[in-house]
Structure 1
Amino acid sequence: MLDVDTSRRRIVDLTSAVRDFCASQPDGLCNVFVPHATAGLALIETGAGSDEDFVDTLERLLPRDDRYRHAHGSPGHGADHVLPGLVSPSVTVPVADGEPLLGTWQSLVLVDLNRDNPRRSVRLSFVSG
């Protein structure tokens, strides 16, 4: 399990941690899961502005205001509970010879717009195949 602090970043790149986890594994599938109702995982390009564009897009789609029925926490916290409907809480990646088979520009990232809980757990599991 990974413990992740999202207090300073909305997008956290988990690619290196996933590679480390898979390094000693045979061929199979690596599943990455976030057991939280307000966070998700995505495969995106990072470092070239796409990560910031992704956050900006999500914040436009999920404005932080009083429109949500789920109304506890910080203003607009209901948007955080809608996020996993758009950004899945799990991703499965094929692995060959201990290497996740990600595309050239793909990174696996944790997406967390929730300002109320900056501590996240990420569970990694593996199925040989």
Structure 2
Amino acid sequence: MSLFSSEVFTLATGRTERVVDITERCRRFLYDNDAYNGLLNVFVPHATMGVAVLETGAGSDDDLLAALGAILPKDDRWIHRHGSPGHGRDHVLPAFIAPHATLPVLDGGLELGTWQSVTIVDTNVDNPDRQVRLSYLG
């Protein structure tokens, strides 16, 4: 027998580039849905966001934003030109940081490494409110 549950929640990312840790929200979703062994999929239905598993709180999240700024400069080089200046690069972001991640759930817990967190990466300052879909299959 398999179990499937899914929910969408709104995440306020504000008007600055951000890496937002949603690990606890993922754990709460798994607990609320009696997840035991299976897979958690995190998906953002936006053309300008990504989902990343990385260390947070020790500077890695700021390092990621700095690296994205170096790889994808916020300037007028982009053909895609609507929105704030340099917004075209936000539409390229999902090619570097996918808009989804699938993670193992074992014995009711999210199977992450010691320093790993589930994060949303949002460089789009034009849209302060975002949607995140969590789906569990077990």
TM-score (norm 2): 0.90
1:20 aligns with 2:28: yes
Whole-Å separation in 2 of the counterparts to 1:54 and 1:108: 14
Whole-Å separation in 2 of the counterparts to 1:105 and 1:89: 21
Whole-Å separation in 2 of the counterparts to 1:52 and 1:124: 25
Question: Cα RMSD (Å) of the superposition?
Answer: 0.9
Specify the alignment match of 2:129 in structure 1: 119
- Unpaired runs of 5+ in structure 2? 1-7
Specify the alignment match of 1:50 in structure 2: 60
Whole-Å separation in 2 of the counterparts to 1:2 and 1:87: 20
Specify the alignment match of 1:10 in structure 2: 18
| Segments of 4+ moved more than 3 angstroms | none
TM-score (norm 1): 0.96
Whole-Å separation in 2 of the counterparts to 1:2 and 1:111: 16
- Unpaired runs of 5+ in structure 1? none
1:39 aligns with 2:46: no
Contact 2:17 2:124 (C-alpha < 8 Å) held by counterparts: no
SS of the counterpart of 1:116? Answer: coil
Specify the alignment match of 2:69 in structure 1: 59
**Aligned letter for 1:4?**
L
Residue 98 of structure 1, CA deviation? 1.5
Residue 9 of structure 1, CA deviation? 5.6
The count of aligned residue pairs is 128
Whole-Å separation in 2 of the counterparts to 1:22 and 1:30: 8
Percentage of matched positions with identical amino acids: 54
Whole-Å separation in 1 of the counterparts to 2:91 and 2:128: 15
